[in-house]
Structure 1
């Protein structure tokens, strides 16, 4: 699904990614974790073609992304911050995105799931952060693509919406989709992830299951295992 070899990226003198090798198989939920500044967002943006690496070979869905930008049509992406035009109504934004990408009828199911019907005629600039995030989720999931990338999807969600999001992600996984997630909420990651990819100082420090990570770090639970990595590498 995603294959990356010897990936390097610098911003000025700042080496953000340093020889990343990563293979993510088809189907399953993969959490990309790491401290702030570790290279998580840069890695995601390289996969999306939004950042051009200095070096490395990247294949997504079997396509070398340098040669064929069409692969992006097979990815659904939820950005960390939803910057929507404030003067547009919610329903106008949904219609515009459908016109730009492809026809879909899945939006109504998602609108119902996240209880957005009362907000469809409201302008985006008047919505709370949590409601904007629900709109963000509708726009992300309504196209049924094989690869889904979610950057901090839980931001601003109330407890009931968070439960609905977790159920939605599990439903999409059951369809055979590959889902990449970044999150700072360890309980969320632990509940839904099949594997984690931990990035530290621009390199893959660990890739595997949470139980394997606990064994490697000799810690009793997931949060302590993550804390152990950070402590050991910043001692």
Structure 2
């Protein structure tokens, strides 16, 4: 589904992606892209979406190079970390606007009911709480039947009930054969739903594979401790280098 080769991206003197090689297979798997703030997660996603142009490297979606193309985006549903819409719009107007733009069958009614948005349809976005806005954003992200779903921090602001429903929805999409990418800082959420993880640090991939394989590699019993172990090793390596240089 996604194949990335030797991807580099810098903003001025700040190197954000430094030689990324990544292969995410098609269908029925959930990949969590993890890493501390500034590790390159969002930049990687935006390169896949064509929102950021890499300096060098190649990205293929469904076997086709995306450089200079735009049609491939029709096969992607995307939830941004921070969604910016005109706040004078009502929820109903926003959903209608997105449907008019995409011109494809949508299952918005099902998602409105799932996230309990019936009573908010005529509320303006500016009047909604952060959690309710996120439910609206999730409705927009999931209401089309696209083979690739990319979710950047999907749990942000959600209450426990909405979290349960989101997990069930993601599992349902996986069962439908979709390829799903998620970024999040909530390790318990990753452990519950993800099949594979990609761990980014300083713009490089330090691990790619099943969660259990990372835990075995780091000799830890859960994902959070395994991630912490990698970060500890990185810090120790930097300290040693500083002392010997």
Q: TM-score range by the shorter chain?
A: over 0.9
Separation in 1 of the partners of 2:79 and 2:69?
Answer: 22
SS at match of 1:234: helix
2:76 aligned residue: 75
SS at match of 2:215: helix
Alignment map for 1:161-172 (pairs within 5 Å):
161-172=162-173
1:214 aligned residue: 215
1:14 aligned residue: 14
Q: Which runs of 5+ in 1 are unaligned?
A: none
**Using a 3 Å threshold, how does the CA distance of structure 1 residues 62 and 160 change in structure 2: closer, same or farther?**
same
CA shift, 1:61, in A, is: 1.5
SS at match of 1:81: coil
2:199 aligned residue: 198
Separation in 2 of the partners of 1:169 and 1:99?
Answer: 25
Whether 1:135 aligns to 2:126 is no
CA shift, 1:110, in A, is: 0.3
2:225 aligned residue: 224
For the aligned residue pairs, the C-alpha RMSD in angstroms reads 0.8
Separation in 2 of the partners of 1:172 and 1:96?
Answer: 24
4+ runs deviating over 3 angstroms: none
Separation in 1 of the partners of 2:223 and 2:39?
Answer: 19
Alignment map for 1:139-154 (pairs within 5 Å):
139-154=140-155
Separation in 1 of the partners of 2:217 and 2:103?
Answer: 45
1:69-102 deviation digits (Å, cap 9, x = unpaired):
1001110000011222111000000000000012
1:62 aligned residue: 63
**Using a 3 Å threshold, how does the CA distance of structure 1 residues 105 and 65 change in structure 2: closer, same or farther?**
closer
Single out whichever of 218-227 and 171-180 deviates more from structure 2.
218-227
Separation in 2 of the partners of 1:176 and 1:41?
Answer: 24
CA shift, 1:146, in A, is: 0.4
Separation in 2 of the partners of 1:81 and 1:162?
Answer: 18
Alignment map for 1:101-120 (pairs within 5 Å):
101-120=102-121
Separation in 1 of the partners of 2:106 and 2:40?
Answer: 36
SS at match of 1:208: strand
CA shift, 1:103, in A, is: 3.2
1:33-79 deviation digits (Å, cap 9, x = unpaired):
01111111100000000000000011012221014210011100000
TM-score, normalised to structure 1's length?
0.98
Separation in 2 of the partners of 1:170 and 1:54?
Answer: 35
Q: Tell me if structure 1 keeps the 8 A contact 2:99–2:106.
A: no
Separation in 2 of the partners of 1:16 and 1:174?
Answer: 34
CA radius of gyration, larger in: 2
Q: Which runs of 5+ in 2 are unaligned?
A: 237-245
